[in-house]
Every structure is written in structure tokens, then in C-alpha cells.
Structure 1
Amino acid sequence: MSAELKKTSGFTLLELLLVVVILAVLTATGVQLLGGQSYENRMKDQSQDLIKQLHYMCEKAVFENRPFAMAFSQNAHQLLTYRKQQWFVVNDKQWPYKALDEDFMWELFIAGKPQKMANELAAEPHVICYNTGQITAFELLLKADSASDSTSQYQITSAQPNQIKAGWLDES
């Protein structure tokens, strides 16, 4: 009697488990990539970029022993410096013109008073950092534009004359 072995086709348990693990890793990576571009993350990233620029502005003011300032419009901001009794736009590779993400808008308060934002940038300073490192008392709210459903707001404030704080504004 000869035993005929029947060939069966299919996958082993090990192969199936390997495929499941690979799919799980790819899914987790995809979720993180998509989640990384969420509305709130983009808002926080834009705010953190602005905070870095404010710190750079104050360091530059102390280092060069002259005031620097930031001017805001409805959708952008730029660096200014004070020379010869006048404010001038700084044209620097390290300080390019910065546009605000089109999904966001901001509100600026200087010493508690709301500031009107022009449509275009002008050489009119809003937030000034003096050569001592002190910065104008300000509050900047970054929030979703009116077309969005998001109510998230990120707040940047001058906590002390030479310190900047930031965080999510609690809506409660």
C-alpha cells in the first residue's frame, strides 16, 4: 500500500501572524501621520514658531543694543528695528516674512487693549523688545477662522517683562 500525500495549499499560522503584525504597524504609523496634521497641532506649531521668533527678536535686541519689534497684520507678521529715530523692516534671511496659516486668525491685545489689525503689513510696531530684554505687555490669541467649527484658542502672553508664556485657552 503506497501512501499518497495530498498537497494542500494555504498559509501557515506563522505567515498569517506576520501579515497581521505588519498591518498593525502600518495602521499605527498612518494614524500618527494623519493625527499629526490635526487642526490643533497645526495651531500649536504655528504658535510655537511665533514664540521662537519673539525670543529671537529679544535676543537680537539685547545683542545689538537697540529695540526690535514685531508688526502684525490680519494674516502675517514681520520684524522691525529702530534706527535713526524710525522703524525699519528687517530684511534678513534668518527672519523671512511669515504668513499666518489661512485657517487661522489672531487677536492682539497690548496692555489689555485690543489692537486693530490692518490688511497689509506696515512699519508700525505692535510688540517691542527693548535692548534690556524687556518686552511689551501683550496677549496674542491664535484661533480658528470664522468658517471653521473649531473653538480651540492658543494664547501667547508676556508673563513678565522678559518672559513669554503660551498654552491652550480654557473655554470654560
Structure 2
Amino acid sequence: MHKSKGFTLLELLLVIVVIGYLVTMVRLPSLAPDPFELTEKQAARMTHLVNLASEYAVLNNMQLGLAVTEDRFAFLVFDGEAWQPFQEPPFDIKPLDEYVRLELILDGLSWQEDNLLSAVEFIDEERLEQLQELDPEEQKLAIPQIFILSSGEISPFDITVEFDDGFANPVSFLIRGEFTAPVRMYDPLQQLALDN
């Protein structure tokens, strides 16, 4: 009887184990997105949306607002009586990418302060009382901290968009609104120039 030539099952398994071991030794490029690019993309998206909302408010004679929490932001529209979520794309709420956080600065005043809210004619005391029933994060998304008016005016603000996963060095971009559109985005190097 003639014996056929070929590999035995044991030889094939040995080759597969060796190949598997070599593959684990080789470092493949990370499939995770680059923190700088991810943060820049998120900051650019938010900057463009605020500028688009300003144009929309002027063209449609509407009063819009922007509410910001640490992990999301929402556009609101004033319907003549109260602020409502603005559900029209692209202004509907979208979650931020993982590890991206927002920090809102309003001329040193936090949004909850009575003197800031009572100065705005679009927010009444009855609405503020209704909001007390919501949890703090939902309260922040129910009333705008930044006003985008039909006159083209925007409340002055700074929003820091930061990526921090606890491993890489944190990356932050700054979005700054100075009373009128367009709002501008600054990368980390441009922020150093702003501080000087």
C-alpha cells in the first residue's frame, strides 16, 4: 500500500499555534481614534451648529438657546410662552463621544444664579418652579444657558471641549462666543496665544 504525503493533524496544529503566538507579538496600530482628532471633530461640530443656529434664528425671527451639561448639549426654541427642545435636525440632541466632556463658563457666573436667570425676559418664575421637580442634569437641559437671539446677538460664553480617558494627556479645544456670531474654535496652541 502506498502512503500519501502530506501534513499530519499534529503538524498543522503546531503551525497554527506558532502563527498565533507570532501575531500576539506584533503590535498592530491602535484602532482607537486619535484623541486630538476626536476632540477637534467634536468641537468643530459644536461650533458649526452654534453658528448655524444663529443664522437660523436671524432668518426665521426666532429666539433660540443652548443648554450644556458635562456630557451633552441641546438646542432649545422659545415658542412665545416657554422653552421647548428644538427637535429639527441638525439641532436635535446627539450624545458626545466617549471620554469627551464639556465645561461651560459664563463670565464667571454659573447658570443657576438667580440674577442671571431673572435678567432674561424669556424665563418666568412659574417655569423655574416646574423645573425643581427634574433632576439637576435635566434642569440644565430645560433652560438655555446661552441665548441665540433673532437680532444676531449671542450670550458671551466659553465652552471647553476636553478629551480625557485617564491614560493619554488631556486634549482641549475652546469654543468662544463674544456677543455676536460667528463663534470661534481655538486649538490648544491658539489658546496659549489667547492667554498672552
Q: What's the TM-score once normalised by structure 1's chain length?
A: 0.70
In structure 2, the partner of 1:104 is: 100
- Of 109, 114, 136, the residue aligned with 1:113 is 109
Q: How many percent of aligned residue pairs carry the same amino acid? A: 17
In structure 2, the partner of 1:158 is: 177
In structure 2, the partner of 1:5 is: none
Matched to 1:39, the amino acid is P
Please give the alpha-carbon distance, in whole angstroms, between the structure 2 residues aligned to 1:122 and 1:166. Answer: 23
Query: 161-170 vs 125-134, which deviates more?
Result: 161-170
Q: What's the TM-score once normalised by structure 2's chain length?
A: 0.62
In structure 1, the partner of 2:67 is: 71
Q: What is the CA-CA distance between 1:133 and the residue it aligns to?
A: 0.9
Runs of 4+ in 1 over 6 A off after TM superposition: none
Higher helix share goes to which structure? 2
1:121-160 Cα deviation digits (max 9, x unpaired): 6311011111111111000001123624322210000145
Query: Residue 58 of structure 1 contacts residue 133 of structure 1 at CA under 8 Å; is this kept in 2?
Result: yes
In structure 1, the partner of 2:186 is: 167
Query: Residue 107 of structure 1 contacts residue 114 of structure 1 at CA under 8 Å; is this kept in 2?
Result: no
- Of 141, 144, 152, the residue aligned with 1:133 is 152
1:35-56 Cα deviation digits (max 9, x unpaired): 9x31100100000000111011
Bigger relative contact order, structure 1 or 2, given CA contacts below 8 A and separation 6+?
A: 2
Q: What is the CA-CA distance between 1:72 and the residue it aligns to?
A: 1.5
Q: Aligned pair 1:149/2:168, yes or no? A: yes
Q: What is the CA-CA distance between 1:96 and the residue it aligns to?
A: 2.6
Query: 41-50 vs 149-158, which deviates more?
Result: 149-158
Matched to 1:42, the amino acid is L
Q: What is the CA-CA distance between 1:34 and the residue it aligns to?
A: 6.4
Q: Aligned pair 1:57/2:76, yes or no? A: no
Unaligned runs of 5+ residues in structure 2 are: 1-27, 113-135
Q: What is the CA-CA distance between 1:102 and the residue it aligns to?
A: 1.6
Query: 140-149 vs 47-56, which deviates more?
Result: 140-149
In structure 1, the partner of 2:143 is: 124
1:15-62 Cα deviation digits (max 9, x unpaired): xxxxxxxxxxxxxxx98x969x31100100000000111011101110
Query: Residue 88 of structure 1 contacts residue 123 of structure 1 at CA under 8 Å; is this kept in 2?
Result: yes
Higher strand share goes to which structure? 1
Equivalenced residues, count: 140
Query: Residue 108 of structure 1 contacts residue 115 of structure 1 at CA under 8 Å; is this kept in 2?
Result: no
Matched to 1:59, the amino acid is E
